[in-house]
Amino acid sequence: MIRIKKGDQVAVNSGKDKGKIGEVIKVLGSKAIVKGVNISKKHQKQDQKNEGGILNKEMPITVSNLMLFDKKAEKGTRIGYKVLNDNKKVRINIKSGDQIDE
């Protein structure tokens, strides 16, 4: 079960980008593309549509290496689920119990 969604602020907890914080651009199954994280160089040949050169591109990172970033605690936090009285399932912060989704 993937607990990370598009638009979430996440912190990287392992790998070469450990400690970096970024926004999730896209979720691809068990991987996610995060803005400014896991950047690689792509050599692009020039054509009529675009200019050639070396481009920086964000590559997918495994969701298990990401944690939702808590602005109050200023660090990554684990995510759990809670069912409200109106049978709506929402994500919560495990440590503080605060509701993440509205």
Pairing of strands 61-62, 75-77: unpaired
| Contact (CB, 8 A) for 4 and 24 | yes
Q: What is the DSSP string of 25-61?
A: EEEETTEEEETTSSEEEEEE---SSS--EEEEEE--E
Query: Quick one: pLDDT at residue 2?
Result: 79
Q: What is the mean pLDDT of the chain?
A: 92
Query: Quick one: pLDDT at residue 53?
Result: 94
Query: Quick one: pLDDT at residue 100?
Result: 87
Q: Mind listing the pLDDT tens digit for each residue in 41-87?
A: 999 999 999 888 999 999 999 999 999 999 888 889 999 999 999 99
**Paired strand residues for 66:** 12
Q: The pTM is what?
A: 0.82
Give the domains, in start order, of the chain with CATH numbers: 9-76 (2.30.30.30)
Backbone angles phi, psi at 17, to 5 degrees: -105, 25
